[in-house]
Amino acid sequence: MKAPRLQPGDEIRVIAPAGSLFSLTELTIKSAEKKLTALGFNVTFSEHATEHDILGSSSIMSRVKDLHAAFADENVKGILTAIGGFNSNELLPYLDFDLIKRHPKVFCGYSDITALCNAITAKTELLTYVGPHFSSFQMDELQEYQTETFLHATTDEKAFVVSASETWSQDEWYLPNPKRRVFANNWKVYNPAEPVTGTCYGGHLNTFQLLFGTSFQPNLERSILFIENAEEDDYHDFARGLAALLQIVKHPQALLIGRFPKQTKMTEERLLAILSKYPLLREIPVIYDMNFGHTQPIFTIPIGDQASVDTSQKQITFF
């Protein structure tokens, strides 16, 4: 089930189901709001968005209340998470999934928001979006690719194709006047295979694992799996997480891997050694160094949507 497409003039509500909006600078908030306003949207903020405790977040009930309020408000057409964090899975037992299903709307964020996106889709069959946070719209350089793919995912009725951006970077774009280094971009094919079609799930791998074995885990049969690591993870986390994932999903349609931040100490040699452990990964399409996760720019992944993967063209078509 797709939520009604976003249109100019629509209200987008910013909520903070993980880290608090308080952690963002005034510059970030104003810059992100300005960009979204320039796209034609009206930005509002949830009641408890800036509430925060010693862990940098608000209470479970405050976060649940804001999420429910955003879905229930008929004026709100889209919901963006303020930023990531570590604890959005705390909300899952308290969410009113029937309310969410009765009020379908675009819901988007990434990193720790992986738990909410995949769980909401599993429980309601509503498409959700692993894509930019509200704070992501502050970014200047490389924003065009990120915004274009977000709009394709959330405003278009027709299918759209995603391929590699021309350049990428992982510098601290959120700092005032950042000096960024950009590199030529190229998605890399580990295993070429015939084009396949499946259902999109995944996001940040360690967060996605939190759903395994719970009632919030999606049905991952015939899935196209998107996985990536954050700066605080390392290559050991990825290796262990991939093993766990492939024990849950016996035969995915394809495996797509986001580019690793340098802090993970993942090298191409290490990644290829990890992937080579699994005969399965020589049978299905596998692409790595892709534009999603914790380097920039990122494209938006419609969780629960059908997509096809074509390794010969190095592109994904979302339906």
111 is catalytic: yes
CA pair distance 210, 217, nearest whole angstrom: 9
251 is catalytic: no
Considering the candidates 20, 111, 135, 165, report the single residue annotated as catalytic.
111
Q: Cα–Cα distances in Å, from 7 out to 4, 45, 162? A: 9, 19, 21
100: tokens are: 């969410």
| Residues acting as catalytic residues | 111, 228, 294
